[in-house]
Amino acid sequence: MTDTHTTPLVRKDGRGVTDLRDVTIERGWSTQAEGSALISFGNTRVLCTASFTNGVPRWMQGKGKGWVTAEYAMLPRATNSRTDRESVKGKIGGRTHEISRLIGRSLRAVVDMKALGENTIVIDCDVLQADGGTRTAAITGAYVAMVDAIEWAREKKFIGQKSQPLIDSVSAVSVGIIDGTPMLDLAYTEDVRAETDMNVVVTGRGLFVEVQGTAEGAPFDRAELNALLDLALGGANDLAEFQQLALSDGE
Amino acid sequence: MTDTHTTPLVRKDGRGVTDLRDVTIERGWSTQAEGSALISFGNTRVLCTASFTNGVPRWMQGKGKGWVTAEYAMLPRATNSRTDRESVKGKIGGRTHEISRLIGRSLRAVVDMKALGENTIVIDCDVLQADGGTRTAAITGAYVAMVDAIEWAREKKFIGQKSQPLIDSVSAVSVGIIDGTPMLDLAYTEDVRAETDMNVVVTGRGLFVEVQGTAEGAPFDRAELNALLDLALGGANDLAEFQQLALSDGE
Amino acid sequence: MTDTHTTPLVRKDGRGVTDLRDVTIERGWSTQAEGSALISFGNTRVLCTASFTNGVPRWMQGKGKGWVTAEYAMLPRATNSRTDRESVKGKIGGRTHEISRLIGRSLRAVVDMKALGENTIVIDCDVLQADGGTRTAAITGAYVAMVDAIEWAREKKFIGQKSQPLIDSVSAVSVGIIDGTPMLDLAYTEDVRAETDMNVVVTGRGLFVEVQGTAEGAPFDRAELNALLDLALGGANDLAEFQQLALSDGE
Amino acid sequence: MTDTHTTPLVRKDGRGVTDLRDVTIERGWSTQAEGSALISFGNTRVLCTASFTNGVPRWMQGKGKGWVTAEYAMLPRATNSRTDRESVKGKIGGRTHEISRLIGRSLRAVVDMKALGENTIVIDCDVLQADGGTRTAAITGAYVAMVDAIEWAREKKFIGQKSQPLIDSVSAVSVGIIDGTPMLDLAYTEDVRAETDMNVVVTGRGLFVEVQGTAEGAPFDRAELNALLDLALGGANDLAEFQQLALSDGE
Amino acid sequence: MTDTHTTPLVRKDGRGVTDLRDVTIERGWSTQAEGSALISFGNTRVLCTASFTNGVPRWMQGKGKGWVTAEYAMLPRATNSRTDRESVKGKIGGRTHEISRLIGRSLRAVVDMKALGENTIVIDCDVLQADGGTRTAAITGAYVAMVDAIEWAREKKFIGQKSQPLIDSVSAVSVGIIDGTPMLDLAYTEDVRAETDMNVVVTGRGLFVEVQGTAEGAPFDRAELNALLDLALGGANDLAEFQQLALSDGE
Amino acid sequence: MTDTHTTPLVRKDGRGVTDLRDVTIERGWSTQAEGSALISFGNTRVLCTASFTNGVPRWMQGKGKGWVTAEYAMLPRATNSRTDRESVKGKIGGRTHEISRLIGRSLRAVVDMKALGENTIVIDCDVLQADGGTRTAAITGAYVAMVDAIEWAREKKFIGQKSQPLIDSVSAVSVGIIDGTPMLDLAYTEDVRAETDMNVVVTGRGLFVEVQGTAEGAPFDRAELNALLDLALGGANDLAEFQQLALSDGE
């Protein structure tokens, strides 16, 4: 899909600046979870599982609404040098917290909680291998896992046949400015060199759910921000197609 | 400063949509810290202290560069109903982690670490009273505290007389869309009603350090994003003037 | 009030041995809490808030009695050099625990729990700046905050109009022996030099709630103990007047 | 390999009592780790990575010996119903500790620490999907990952060309008594029904490294113990062949 | 009892290879617990208390069954050099977890949970002095404490007069191979030299509850395993007699 | 010793108001520690061990001074109903912290740190059985253990033959007012009824190290305070004799 874009500049891995890395989505990877997907953005590989349970946390009971939440984590040797386990350290780091919250918010943005009813979906995104863009791959794969968990629940009649909790689809992609050039879907070696780094979460209809841009080096101006947003919307459009392709399998 | 803006709509507290709340900065509030400021954005009050110490964390030693980091916290009764202390719970929540990291990144964006030398500045931002915008008030006040800590270090000759670690100033402001209308500097009751909520960190020269926009309700489109960014740049400009005013006191 | 005492010896800050430092009580500092006071004993500044809630902890339910408890903490840069946050360390230190328990016991000593009914008051004492005597300032300020929280509850009819939960007032002061001389209300530099250090909690009627004396250097004899108690009762008497003065404001 | 055994009884999944489940070993699954293997025993899937680093923990320095250690963990949705993350709970459970220690001991039993030199190998065994026998699959896969990490270190000259840290190979298998019948390699549904459950760690030469037998129901006698050991030695022999097969790939 | 065995080899402490150390059981040591025993295996001394309470944990309610669990711990100076307290470190080590779980399983193996009814017995085994074999002494003493707690409950009519929750007795002993010779009940200095170390839990009727053998040095073969099991069954038989002797006291 | 006092009132256990409970001190109870004592105050039994190590914590190095510290803990079933282990809860309670600090301060008050040299003594006080007065028994027994650890160090030549780190002896006792009558050494059932509760730490020469009085019910006046101090000094005098008696054993 992405290969039809023409891109003037070529990157280390041969991509043009507007190209995504190879995207693969192995839907239903887990035989245990209600929904699951093993997603790859190049060498970044994230296992996303969706666990559907009846009932909601105590503080939400009796409102006729459901709940969607997410937890993100990285295996200790997902990265180039081993990092200590958060379970061994006894506490969760700020980065882990931040990404878990981002994934949860992104998914909730496309779910109608009334239609979900008093049910809970917990999405686990475990990074098996990390090469940049783990949070964006996680969101993109989590959506696929969630769709299957909702279908499972509909078959089990935990959700009414006519209820449609899904309002839209959602995916995410990173963009950044390297040596002054805006680029799509940064690999790890690109990410560490980026002056500005932005993660953008976009719905299937092309609306923004989250825009998180950070100047790692020099601050950025309005024109740069606009260029990055343009790139992100293009990438998100491609990702939405990959999601649809994966979800149409087996139908 | 802000009162010269004409704003068509009037908010609950009498402000127009492009108005900041009353901003006060009590510079040097603490007699213990190298730099400090008690900042108010309306009823939001944050005590910011800057602690300057010689040396850097072990992993940074020998590179001739300094380090700036920040910790954010809220007193248990800063909010309308009491929240449990994180020290009592034995762990720091995701929100606290996220904001601490944001403040640290925002300040580092305007510091030349080479010019700072192998010294560390720790900024503590403790919210004494919360009424929306605590992170943006914290960043805005932290900058003032940091300036004074750097001045203190220069007088103590921990930083060379000709070194200028400060590249630019930095402040932050929240913007949001309420009932379809973009507004500046949301108070708590406005924040909970906002469909989209955005925190923008801007330098004195008007460049972006961070843009964090989140759809709390419906996703937002490109036009809405642009309207929010316009508002934020205006507010940040006003805040930079308040900072300058506070810093010119006593000179 | 204290300035009518004649004191033979003069201390570093100009006080005589029987003098308190300057005491100020800003009642109602917080717009969020049911009761609050920002108290200063010289450079020691403690923000005390009282949170009133209906109901009591599970283990106390059904006895028709209320509960009063307290938490004490220090901002990281309240002290001359920064100390790590207990929330970051993930555990509360022994000193913090000890002082929190002391404040709670001191306040409960002057409250009739039957008259309070099944309601809970949580007192938070956060040291914004520390210069010795933080626990005694905390107790003295906490009483003022608690009085206002009880008044608030009476107006809200959470406490009967004829109920009087307050049996007496309570304040606290430190005393110590420095170079053989007993002195009242030690500042930090005095405290570290004291051979014996004592914190005394006294009711408005002059009765003891707590007496905690510790030999930091040489053990002390009965005569020294008596001299310290005399000083403490005098200081507590002055503090009770400051409390009354603060509480009569706005009537 | 296992299919030449004749087994009188047939199990739910069609196996005879002396049959292993399908065993697959994807050697080199990870592009990041020095050695890795994704191993499956039926539906149980464990990702094993081996991280090689120069140096040993402080307490072992200067003895000219290496160190091998292991950490085991399970993804939250590896199991049929989701379990909370140990990182979120802030502590590691007894079962996790126990298995991590077992894996470490099992691997150390076949490593000559002098020949390894002052280097450390950390093995991470993360269960991606659990269907019984996760610890035995982990040990069996960890051996393969460790072999590759040692080869990597030899190529990098961190280990001498003539040094051979590997004394023997090692694998593990579970056995149990169900309805009075001893069986090999229990799947989860078998495991929960087993009266006696035993995990046996065996070297390639057929010697025992660990024997851990537990009566879950009625205690077991000497004859039953012997029958289980016979079964385990047969299964371990098959697993050693699978390991050799995987390791001979790509040579 | 043990002195009738003839043993060819003499150990450092004068024992033959099939001899237990001196065993003493002070039943009813605690005046607070429902059952208790201070047990010694030579210099190893463990205080075992059994706490009986009505009711079971929430996840077991309504099944008409009881629950038995155990916690093992070591005083910091039970060992030759002081070890840090796990309460101070804030987490329980793997070894502690492992032994607590072993004790619990061992005791549950001889209890009929239906006959116990919905009651809970918590066994605490605190090692006051450690010289090898602490877990085996703990299991052996815990059985005695548990018997008394069950008798106490019968007298209080928390267990029916005709119910007999005890199916069998249980004890445990360590065995190991030192310099090629299998030996019974290892003292600490023997334990650290053992090539193979095995803990065996045996019922009064001579059946196995747990067999945990570990090669600390070279792996062991089938003949060695058999020799160790023979020794363990002999030792367990002696321990069962010591238990009976202690329990017949005061009848 | 105490039986020569004439006491008008008789308590539940037959004692007069100025009587201690039976005091026993088993010196050298532990074969592992450098010094130890199992002390009983009636049914309260505390095992005190003193661990002597060369060197001091990093923050004290190079000053030619030693360090003495203490840790207090209670076995879960020391009390009438079982309390959860602090190691399992993962944090130390306020009461435990408070008592550990009190014991440490009390012992340091009678040690000349210069004479101790750069050595550390850690005192562990583990309550095996609790019936009131555990902290006072702990201090009294800890002194005996510490004396033996110092003697051990002198024999090992870790302390000079002429150095005398011990300045004085130290013991502690509780006193309280029950139904208006001051009483010595409260048992648990007395303690819970006391209106005022005081722990007093006294040196062998009769000087105060700590005075900690708390009004549990009504506040107390100066006369009551004096009566309690009189009682405490008498009791401490008796305890000093018990300590001497224990320490003269075996000479």
Task: List pLDDT tens digits, range C67-103.
Answer: 999 999 999 999 999 999 998 888 888 899 999 999 9
Mean pLDDT of chain B: 93
pLDDT at C232: 98
Q: Is A151 in CB contact (< 8 Å) with chain D?
A: no
Q: What DSSP state is assigned to residue D81?
A: S
Count of D-E CB contacts under 8 Å: 89
Distance from CA of E250 to the nearest CA of D (A): 31
CB contact under 8 A, D225 and E229: yes
Q: Extract the runs of DSSP E, i.e. beta strands, from chain C.
A: 23-27, 35-41, 44-54, 67-74, 119-129, 170-178, 181-184, 196-203, 208-215
In whole angstroms, give the CA distance from residue B153 to residue E132. 59
Q: How far apart are the first and last CA of chain B?
A: 21
CB contact under 8 A, A203 and B209: no
| B214 in Cβ contact with A210 (< 8 Å) | yes
pLDDT at E251: 52
A147-156, B28-37, B84-93, E4-13: least confident range = E4-13
**Nearby residues of E143 by Cβ (< 8 Å), 6 or more positions away:** E107, E110, E169, E170, E171, E243
Counting residues of chain D whose pLDDT is more than 90, the rounded percentage is 86
**Nearby residues of D103 by Cβ (< 8 Å), 6 or more positions away:** D70, D72, D123, D125, D135, D138, D139, D142
Q: Please state the residue numbers annotated as binding site of C for phosphate.
A: 95, 133-135
Residue of B nearest to A113 (CA): B217
By Cβ distance, the residue of B30, B122, B129 closest to C32 is B129
Q: What is the pLDDT of residues F115-172, one digit of tens each?
A: 999 999 999 999 999 999 999 999 999 999 999 999 999 999 999 888 899 999 999 9
**Contact map slice: C 156-215 vs F, CB within 8 A:** 168, 198, 203, 205, 207-215
pLDDT band per the 50, 70, 90 thresholds, residue B244: very high
Query: Which residues of chain E lie closer than 8 angstroms to F36, CB-CB?
Result: 77
CB contact under 8 A, B87 and C86: yes
CB contact under 8 A, F82 and E53: yes
In whole angstroms, give the CA distance from residue E51 to residue B40. 57
Chains interfacing with C (3 or more CB pairs < 8 Å): B, F
pLDDT at E250: 60
> What average pLDDT score do residues B155-159 get?
95
Is residue F41 classed as helix, strand or coil in its secondary structure? Answer: strand
Counting residues of chain F whose pLDDT is more than 90, the rounded percentage is 85
In whole angstroms, give the CA distance from residue E204 to residue A208. 71
pLDDT band per the 50, 70, 90 thresholds, residue C105: very high
Q: Using alpha carbons only, how large is chain A's radius of gyration in Å?
A: 18
Confidence check: pLDDT of A4 > 80: no
CB contact under 8 A, A219 and B207: yes
pLDDT at C74: 97
Q: What DSSP state is assigned to residue A162?
A: T
Q: What DSSP state is assigned to residue D59?
A: G
Confidence check: pLDDT of D3 > 50: no
pLDDT band per the 50, 70, 90 thresholds, residue C175: very high
**Contact map slice: C 29-68 vs F, CB within 8 A:** none
In whole angstroms, give the CA distance from residue D165 to residue D180. 42
- Bridge partners (DSSP) listed for residue A38: A26, A47
User: In 10 A of CB D128, how many CB atoms?
Assistant: 24
| A209 in Cβ contact with A197 (< 8 Å) | no
pLDDT at C2: 45
- Bridge partners (DSSP) listed for residue C39: C25, C46
Burial D156-190 (b: 16+ CB within 10 A, else e): eebbeeeeebbbbbbbbbbbbbbeeebbbbbbbeb
Using alpha carbons, select from D10, D3, D23, D13 the residue that is nearest to residue D172: D23
Q: Which amino acid is at F93?
A: G
Residue of F nearest to C215 (CA): F209
Distance from CA of C130 to the nearest CA of B (A): 9
Mean pLDDT of chain D: 93
CB contact under 8 A, D32 and A77: yes
pLDDT at C173: 98
Counting residues of chain F whose pLDDT is more than 70, the rounded percentage is 96
- Bridge partners (DSSP) listed for residue A181: A178
pLDDT at C90: 83
By Cβ distance, the residue of C87, C96, C129 closest to B86 is C87
pLDDT at C7: 47
| E159 in Cβ contact with E111 (< 8 Å) | no
Q: Is B77 in CB contact (< 8 Å) with chain C?
A: yes
Joined tokens for residue D47 = 């990702």
Q: What is the pLDDT of residues A178-191, one digit of tens each?
A: 999 999 999 999 99
- Bridge partners (DSSP) listed for residue D170: D203
pLDDT at E135: 98
- Bridge partners (DSSP) listed for residue D197: D176, D214
CB contact under 8 A, C91 and F94: no
Q: Which residue has the tokens 């919905």?
A: E118
| E140 in Cβ contact with E180 (< 8 Å) | no
CB contact under 8 A, E97 and D101: no
pLDDT band per the 50, 70, 90 thresholds, residue B250: low
In whole angstroms, give the CA distance from residue A68 to residue A207. 20
CB contact under 8 A, A168 and B219: yes
Joined tokens for residue D81 = 């119903």
Using alpha carbons, select from D178, D169, D177, D181 the residue that is nearest to residue D213: D177
Angle subtended by helix axes B94-108 and B134-155, to nearest 10:
50
pLDDT at C159: 94
> What average pLDDT score do residues B134-139 get?
98
Q: Using alpha carbons only, what angle is made at residue D210 by residues D205 and D216, rounded to the nearest 5 degrees?
A: 135
pLDDT band per the 50, 70, 90 thresholds, residue F215: very high
Chains interfacing with D (3 or more CB pairs < 8 Å): A, E
Joined tokens for residue E28 = 């009813």
pLDDT band per the 50, 70, 90 thresholds, residue D7: very low
CB contact under 8 A, D210 and E208: no
Q: Which residue has the tokens 């995410």?
A: A172
pLDDT at A250: 60
Confidence check: pLDDT of B3 > 70: no
In whole angstroms, give the CA distance from residue D19 to residue B186. 67
- Bridge partners (DSSP) listed for residue D53: D120
Query: Which residues of chain A lie closer than 8 angstroms to D31, CB-CB?
Result: 43, 129
CB contact under 8 A, F98 and C100: no
Counting residues of chain A whose pLDDT is more than 90, the rounded percentage is 86
Q: What is the pLDDT of residues C202-225, one digit of tens each?
A: 999 999 999 999 998 889 999 999
Question: Best residue in E92, E207, E212, E221 to probe D by mutation, most D CBs within 10 Å?
Answer: E207
Residue B134 counted as an annotated binding residue:
yes
Mean pLDDT of chain A: 93
Confidence check: pLDDT of A8 > 70: no
| D175 in Cβ contact with D228 (< 8 Å) | yes
| F69 in Cβ contact with F104 (< 8 Å) | yes
Q: Please state the residue numbers annotated as binding site of C.
A: 95, 133-135
In whole angstroms, give the CA distance from residue E64 to residue E58. 12
Sort E152 into a burial class: Cβ within 10 Å, 0-12 / 13-18 / 19+.
middle
pLDDT at C155: 94
pLDDT at D98: 92
Confidence check: pLDDT of C56 > 50: yes
In whole angstroms, give the CA distance from residue C200 to residue C204. 13
> What average pLDDT score do residues A124-141 get?
98
pLDDT band per the 50, 70, 90 thresholds, residue D177: very high
D8-17, D70-79, F10-19, F234-243: least confident range = D8-17
> What average pLDDT score do residues A28-36 get?
96
CB contact under 8 A, C97 and F100: no
Q: Is C6 in CB contact (< 8 Å) with chain B?
A: no
Using alpha carbons, select from C161, C189, C190 the residue that is nearest to residue C176: C190
Beta strand D67-74 pairing with D119-129: parallel
The model's pTM is: 0.89
Q: Which residue has the tokens 């060199």?
A: A193
Count of A-B CB contacts under 8 Å: 90
Joined tokens for residue B84 = 């449990």
Distance from CA of E92 to the nearest CA of D (A): 9
Q: What is the pLDDT of residues D211-242, one digit of tens each?
A: 999 998 889 999 999 999 999 999 999 999 99
Furthest CA-CA distance within chain F? 56
Tell me the average confidence (pLDDT) per consecutive run of 10 residues in chain E, 251 residues long. Answer: 51 92 97 97 98 93 95 96 90 90 96 96 98 98 98 94 93 96 96 94 97 92 96 97 91 52
By Cβ distance, the residue of A33, A75, A91 closest to D77 is A33
CB contact under 8 A, B124 and C90: no
Q: What DSSP state is assigned to residue A15?
A: -
Query: Which residues of chain D lie closer than 8 angstroms to E229, CB-CB?
Result: 222, 225
Query: Which residues of chain D lie closer than 8 angstroms to A79, CB-CB?
Result: 32
Residue of C nearest to F203 (CA): C219
Q: Please state the residue numbers annotated as binding site of E for phosphate.
A: 95, 133-135
Using alpha carbons, select from D104, D106, D86, D105 the residue that is nearest to residue D96: D86
